[in-house]
Structure formats: C-alpha cells, structure tokens
Chain A
Amino acid sequence: MGGFMSFVRKEALHIVRDRRTMLIVLLMPVVQMLLFGFAISTEVNNIDFAVVAPKHSEAIRQQVERLSVNDYFTFKGYISPQATDELLRQGEVDAVVVFAEDYDRRVNAIADGYPTGPAIQLVFDASNPNVAASGAGYLQNALQVGGTQHLPIETHTMYNPQMKSAYNFAPGIMGLIFLLICAMMTSISIVREKETGTMEVLLVSPVRPLRIIVAKMVPYFLLSCINLITIMSLARFALEVPMTGSMVGLIGISLLYILLALALGLFISTVANTQVVAMLISGMVLLMPVIMLSGMVFPVENMPNILQAISYIIPARWYIEAMRKLMIEGLGFGAVWKEFVILIAMTVVLVTIALKKFNDKLE
C-alpha cells in the first residue's frame, strides 16, 4: 500500500507543480457558471418597445403606463405607423405595439362577448427568434392582464417560473466540466508519461500497471470533488437554483459520473499516443457531442430521430437529465433511478473495455 500512496503523492505533485493548469481546472467551473448564468442567457430582459396609437384614449394610456413600469420593458415613445418598419430595422426598438383605431370599442365588444377583430397588434423583430418568442409571450401576458380579463389561455410555467436559463445551464456545465477535467486531464497525464518515456520505466518496475493508473485517477477525482462543491455552491447561492431535490442522489450520481469520465480518460489514453492526439480526441470526440447532443444547449426532444438515437449513448445526456430533475424540479432519488442504472452500466462497460485495451497494449 505504501507504493500506492507514493504514486498518489507523485501525481498530486505533478498537478500542484503545474500551477497554470491547476488554476484553469479550479477556476474554469466558476467562470463557466457565471458566464452561462449571467452573460449568456436566453432569457429576455430589456425589450425596447414603441407604441402606435392612432387615437389616444384613457385605456391606451393605462396600458402603456403598465408596460412602462414593468422591469422587462422600456417604453421608447409614440411613433407613427410609417416609422414602424424603419425603427425595427435599425434596432431602435425590439417591438412595436399597435393599438387599433377603435381600440376602446373593440375591447368593450370583446368584454361583451361579441366577435371582433384584434384590438392590439404586436410587431416583433424576430431576427433573434429566442428574443422574439419569449418577448412576445411576455408582452402579450402583460397586455392581457391590463386590458381584457377574459383570457382564453393561461400559460403557467412551472419549476422555473422566471424561465431563468441559468437553471438549465447548471446541470449542463457540470456534465461538461467533469468530463473535461477527468477525461481530458487523466488521458493527457497518462499519455504524457508514454511520451516522455517514464511509462516505459514504470512498466519495467515491479509496480502493477493498474496501480499506476488508479493512483493517477485519485487526485483528479479529488479535484473533481472540489469542483462539485464549487459548482453546487455557486448554483445555490449565486444563481439561486432551488436544489430542493435529494442531496444524496445529487452527490451520488455526480460521483458516479466522475468515475465514468475517469474511465473514459483511461480509454482515450489507450488509443492516443501523443498528448496532442489525446487532447483532440477529448475535445472533438467527447466535448462536441456533449455540448450538442446531451441536451445541455438544445433540447433532446427537438432533435431529428437519428440524433436522438445517438444521444442515448452519450453519458452526459443521462447525467444532465438526472441533475435537472434533482436540482431544478426538486425530485427525490426515486425519480432518477433509471439514469442511475444506465450510468452504472455505462461505467462498467467503459472500465472493462479500457482495462482490456490497456492490458493488451502492454503486451
């Protein structure tokens, strides 16, 4: 056992001595969380709107007033119908609210139950579809609350009522970061020993190869645990993700996923012979599918069937799904047993293949 610990110490020294890499590894989760959480958000703030009102009336004034005091909207003034297109094109405003000429009459007609044409028209700049879609939704809601009380449809978003995108990104970032640290870093560190020739010397020594590999994984596992704590604290306290779900499940499935990523790293190291190749494989073959296909950015449900099928074999997809349930929906451990079983199966398969390949390589 003494031999094993001296290897762990050696690996830890490698990591600590490489200050720059360690800093990146520890700070990356923080930066990514904050970046995705605050800067790159798909939620809609600050919609600038102008109003076209052919005839001013008390009801219209009230509507405009109501919108203006809303944090999400900024009133840019009344404009003529002809200016609509121009202002939208120049990006001066994101939306134009056009009140009908006989707005008051129409509103009353609707209130009395008579059929009539629309009382308000919303013109939106949809060059950014995300902004347009959610902005239009907001604006519609805001107008309806004020104008007519007879809402035919009431939309109610659950779990994430403010539709904060940070909520959605937290599990995705975790799925990405653990893969990056565990798979990329371990594979690079194993391949580096092949490159410099130290692996050769170790193999001629009486250490069991498996022991070398496991000793390599221990420090990265610990590093990932630190990151897990960082990310969860950031999610809870900076992004205010509720995290009411099962804590045991959350930590358990994260540790499982970290193990899986370590196995992936070992697998990559058996395929790659140089650090550059290891980096490319981790970057292109692992990260791209995780970003594109795991549901981190684009919902899996919206993908073509083929891509959905591919996403089934991507571990991050299951991890992210489980983390959404646990972190955002606040479900218990029972809700994620399917993901748990799938991830365990994937880990077992990966470890088996990786060890087999690793041993074959030695001969």
Chain B
Amino acid sequence: MDDRVISVKDLCKDFGTFRAVDRITFDVHRGEIFGFLGANGAGKTTAMRMLCGLSYPTAGSGTVAGFDVMTQGEAIKRHIGYMSQRFSLYEDLTVWENIRLYAGIYGMTRRQILRRTAELLDRLHFRDEIHTRVGRLPLGWKQKLAFSVATIHCPEVVFLDEPTGGVDPVTRRQIWELIYEAAAGGTTIFVTTHYMDEAEYCSRVSIMVDGQIRALGSPGELKTKFAVQTMDEVFRMLAREAKRGE
C-alpha cells in the first residue's frame, strides 16, 4: 500500500517571469515529521501554499492526501490542517467557541466535536479554561491550543508554518511534544522552521535554496553527506550559495 501522503514531481510556480518555485520533487510518508527548511525568500511559503490548495502550480504534478494539487485544491483543504506562525485563534472568543467554530468549518457533528474537545482539553490540562477567552491565556498555552485546533478534525497531514516562532523554550518543547504525539498517532507533519535545533527533531528535512530543493534526507544523512556536526552547519553551507536576496 502506498503510504505517501504528499507526493510532488517537478512542481513549479511562476509569478510573471519570476520562477518562485523551481521543479521541486519529494515525497512525504504517513506519520513522518517532514522539516521544510529554507531562508526567507527561498520559495518555502509559495511551495507550501500550493500544497495547501491555496494556489495552483504553473507546472508539474503531485498529490496531497490523495488529491491532485493541479485541480483539486478545495478537496485538499478539507483533508489537511494548518497552523500559521502568527497566532491564529480569535482572542475575543472563548476556548470552546474557537474550537466549535473551526470544528464546524470541517463539517464535524456536534457529538464528534464534544468528544474531540474533551480529549484535547484533557491532554492539554485545559479543562477549567474552556470558557476562558483565548486572549487571557498565556502565549504558550495559546500556541498549544492553536496546534490542537489545527488537528481537531484528525487531518491526514498538518502544515505548520513556523509554529514555534516567538515562544519561550519551555513552550517550544511542549509544542514539539504535541507534534511527536500527533505523528505517533499517524498524522503526518509538514513543518517549516528557522530553528536548526528543531530540524534535528524531524524524520527528514528538505532545504530550499533559490526555489530549488538542494538537500533532502534525514538529519543524520545530511550531516554525513556534508561532513559536518550539526544541521545548522548544513544549512549555512547551502544558504551561502543563494543568489536571491531576502
């Protein structure tokens, strides 16, 4: 059985004459934590938008959760989860209201919502805060909640766009624990980050430079290949070749 959740081949995206994403090819397998690295302007966001069904590729082919990225953007949206680097829950709504809204968007029934909410709040030890407005929670809690809400509908794959940007080290650790837990449960994780120590936690990483994927493999493989000690060094060696500016 094919366990590829994301599979793309020669995916391109042009903006006028500018080729933002240049023939990227990779597979992501079920339950994997796939780190999608690259400096700002390398084309990460554009690539991710195509995978999330937000924009259609100029050329190439691929599937996400079994749906064609060229034609089935709307179907893809129903089967993925997404969490952005910016905190993305409504601060003036309560924890429960946020959960209900997002779960409702994904067409969950009331019973499903109640069950998943109980599960999720127990795991986060949030039970007492269910009627607290999200704006009153500490940032770390919010971020954990945002991650949980992004996975409330048990998507096949979750896209995390710099999920740990601007949170303290303790919370960062907790978020990664949640990520591991979700991956162990069979959810595929597609994560972008600027923290190279986080890249070490990934099953496999790809590094984009100037719209192309220049390196792809497990952190161990890459370190061996480039004969360095840390992912940070791998990243620096590749990023140095970049011709595009910020």
Chain A interface residues (CB < 8 Å from chain B): 2-3, 6-7, 10, 13-14, 17-18, 196-198, 200-207, 362-363
B93 touches A201 (CB 8 A): no
Distance from A96 Cβ to chain B, minimum over Cβ atoms (Å): 63
8 more A-B contacts (CB under 8 A) besides A196-B87, A198-B89?
A6-B101, A6-B105, A7-B101, A197-B85, A201-B82, A202-B105, A204-B52, A362-B54
User: Which residues 139-167 of B sit at the A interface, judged by CB distance below 8 A?
Assistant: 150, 159
A17 touches B92 (CB 8 A): yes
> Does B107 sit within 8 A of A, measured CB to CB?
yes
Hey, which chain A residues are within 8 Å of B7, CB to CB? Answer: none
Hey, which chain A residues are within 8 Å of B83, CB to CB? Answer: 201
* C-alpha spacing A206/B79, complex, angstroms: 9
> Does B55 sit within 8 A of A, measured CB to CB?
yes
Q: Which 7 A-B pairs have the closest CB atoms?
A: A197-B86, A204-B82, A6-B104, A201-B88, A206-B78, A17-B92, A206-B77
* C-alpha spacing A14/B98, complex, angstroms: 12
**Given A205-B77, A206-B105, are A10 and B97 also a contact pair (CB < 8 Å)?**
yes
> Does B176 sit within 8 A of A, measured CB to CB?
no
Hey, which chain A residues are within 8 Å of B101, CB to CB? Answer: 6-7, 10
Chain B interface residues (CB < 8 Å from chain A): 52-55, 74, 77-78, 80, 82-93, 97, 100-102, 104-107, 133, 150, 159
A206 touches B74 (CB 8 A): yes
Q: Choose from A6, A13, A202 the contact partner of B92 (Cβ within 8 Å).
A: A13
The A interface, classified by DSSP as helix, strand, loop or mixed, is helix
Q: Choose from A3, A197, A204 the contact partner of B80 (Cβ within 8 Å).
A: A204
B97 touches A196 (CB 8 A): no
* C-alpha spacing A201/B88, complex, angstroms: 7
Hey, which chain A residues are within 8 Å of B82, CB to CB? Answer: 200-201, 204-205
How many A-B pairs have beta carbons closer than 8 Å: the answer is 68
A205 touches B90 (CB 8 A): no
Hey, which chain A residues are within 8 Å of B97, CB to CB? Answer: 10, 13
A3 touches B107 (CB 8 A): yes
Distance from A216 Cβ to chain B, minimum over Cβ atoms (Å): 13
Hey, which chain B residues are within 8 Å of A197, CB to CB? Answer: 84-88
A198 touches B90 (CB 8 A): yes
**Can you list 28 A-B pairs with a CB-CB distance of less than 8 A?**
A3-B104, A3-B105, A6-B100, A6-B101, A10-B101, A13-B92, A14-B92, A17-B133, A196-B88, A196-B91, A197-B84, A197-B85, A197-B86, A198-B90, A200-B82, A200-B84, A200-B86, A201-B84, A201-B102, A203-B54, A204-B52, A204-B54, A204-B77, A205-B77, A205-B102, A206-B78, A206-B105, A206-B106
* C-alpha spacing A200/B97, complex, angstroms: 19
Hey, which chain A residues are within 8 Å of B106, CB to CB? Answer: 205-206
A13 touches B93 (CB 8 A): yes
A10 touches B93 (CB 8 A): yes
* C-alpha spacing A198/B102, complex, angstroms: 11
* C-alpha spacing A18/B135, complex, angstroms: 13
B90 touches A14 (CB 8 A): yes
* C-alpha spacing A7/B103, complex, angstroms: 12
Hey, which chain B residues are within 8 Å of A18, CB to CB? Answer: 92
Hey, which chain A residues are within 8 Å of B55, CB to CB? Answer: 363
